[in-house]
Structure 1
Amino acid sequence: MPTMMKTHMDKYQKCIDICNQCITECEFCLDACLHAPDVDKRVECIELLKDCIEICSISAKYMAGNSRFASQICELCAEICDACAAECEKFEDTHCQTCAQICRDCAAECRNMAEAHQF
């Protein structure tokens, strides 16, 4: 049984890691945006950051639990990460640009995982 668990964690580990990294960057960006002087112009960005944090967390949990729905959740995660990246890219702050890049990386890895592990 332990080898079986190691195998399913191995196939998801890269995606789990990038989802966790995305959560961290989005949390940092969210805090910075909430304290930005133009916070009123960042409402859409703030909402997408919150969505991205949640879906990345759910994706990591579903993969860690080897859920049969992990691929579908990761497909949705990729879509939300791309939307978050597009919104963050509208702002020139370093935290927004860094977050956008991590979101793009996460979306790509989630798509790779979902395609490779379709049930």
Structure 2
Amino acid sequence: MEESVKDLMQKLTDCITACNHCFDQCLQEDDVKHMTECIRTDRECADICTIALSFLTREGSLKADLLQLCAITCQACGDECEKHSHDHCQECAKACFACAEACRTHPLIA
């Protein structure tokens, strides 16, 4: 497996982990209603990253399209998490932005 694919797979895994952690922590906040959009984007991002990770282990023609969707989803999640001052949201935003960049710039898309 190419090193660039391994690196991308690690970014996807890091993003999934951060989103799942953020999701769990948001559910424990005092004002969960205020965190609704953050929770939603965390779930969507983790799901899309999981699908992308799975597709990277296969031969197929949809990888580039999926990575583009993943970049969009990660960017949206990062933008939402960045709005919140909680440490788990800030860490999630960093992981999402790193994953979005990795997806956007991967040779499979270029």
Relative to the length of structure 1, the TM-score reads: 0.87
| Consecutive aligned runs of 4 or more in structure 1 exceeding 6 Å deviation | none
Is 1:35 equivalent to 2:36 in the alignment? no
Relative to the length of structure 2, the TM-score reads: 0.94
Whether the 8 Å CA contact 1:16–1:64 is kept in 2: the answer is: no
- How many residues in Structure 1 have an aligned counterpart in Structure 2? 110
* Distance apart, 1:118 and its partner CA: 4.0
Which protein is richer in helix relative to its size? 1
Is 1:18 equivalent to 2:37 in the alignment? no
Residue segments in structure 1 that go unaligned for 5+ positions in a row: 1-5
Query: What are the superposed Cα offsets for residues 47-68 of structure 1, whole Å, 9 maximum, x if unpaired?
Result: 1100000000001111111322
The structure that has the greater radius of gyration is: 1
RMSD of aligned residue pairs (Cα, Å)? 1.3
Whether the 8 Å CA contact 2:68–2:109 is kept in 1: the answer is: no
Any residues of structure 2 matched to 1:33-112 within 5 Å, and which?
33-112=26-105
Q: For residues 100 and 49 of structure 2, what CA distance do their matches in structure 1 show?
A: 10
User: Quick one: percent identity of the two aligned structures?
Assistant: 34
Q: For residues 84 and 44 of structure 2, what CA distance do their matches in structure 1 show?
A: 18
